[in-house]
Amino acid sequence: RYKALCAVVIDTGTGHTRSGLAGDEQPRSVVPSQARGSPVLTHGVVTDWDGLEELWHRVLYRELGVCPEEVAVLATDAPLSPIANREKVAELLFEGFGVPAMLVLPRSLLAAYSYGRTTGVVVGSGAGTSYAAAVREGYALPHATFRLDVAGDALTLYLGRLLGSRGVRLGADPLRRLKETYCHVLPGAGGALPLTPPVASGLLLGAERFRCPEALLAPAALGLPGPG
């Protein structure tokens, strides 16, 4: 019976929620993972369940235009998230939306599937978490998964701190654009650091564009313990 159902895919990350129908090559909807102006996840883990229900109501009814009682739902899960998180998602979908069938799978496993692979190592970095996860024959291996709560949002804040140390103050959106456009890991050592062309009203980025992403490799720069 369930094989005849249309399947909806909902990928709710810390920054954005992407959704669509199974078989689509691209998401049909991308919206901020927020409810009433506040985030519903922190580092990939749901912290506002009422907000998540409100967000998914918008996604299902307004963005995708489907009736939850008539579709199966595949929801993604952050690597190494608590088991209670997945149980609560199931409760929300079955009891809150009345879906007839649902499945929660790790984002790392689905990433491997998207490339037609059932075995490999998946590396991902979003707004709230970064991870490296092993997948073997269609199974995500928790004991071979490394998760780091340093990702895009933390790097944006760090870039703001670096620029602030020389008196430059920018908002979150300009900082994010600078990070995504100019920041990268320094490929080699030695020599003078080149400056980028003028950006953001004459601002020149020097060592900041290399120091910012290197926090992924050395979280101690952000005051966090552990390896990168």
pLDDT, tens digit, 9 for 90 and up, residues 87-104:
999 999 999 999 999 999
Q: Which residues of the chain have pLDDT under 70?
A: 1-4, 188-202, 226
pLDDT at 222: 85
CA end-to-end span of the chain: 46
Q: What is the CATH number of domain 152-221?
A: 3.90.640.10
All CATH 3.30.420.40 domain ranges of the chain, comma separated, are 2-107
pLDDT value, residue 205: 78
Domain with CATH 3.90.640.10 in the chain: 152-221
pLDDT at 189: 54
Q: What is the pLDDT of residue 168?
A: 86
What are the tens digits of pLDDT across the range 190-202? 555 565 555 655 6
pLDDT of residue 80: 85
- According to CATH, the superfamily of the domain at 2-107 is ATPase, nucleotide binding domain (3.30.420.40)
The torsion region of residue 138 among left (phi > 0), alpha (psi -120 to 50) and beta comes to left
> How confident is the model at residue 112, as a pLDDT?
94
Q: What is the pLDDT of residue 155?
A: 93
What DSSP designation does 199 have? B
- pLDDT for 82 equals 86
What secondary structure does DSSP assign to 13-70, as a single string? -SSEEEEEETT-SS-SEEEESEETTEESEETTEES-HHHHHHHHHIIIIIIS---GGG
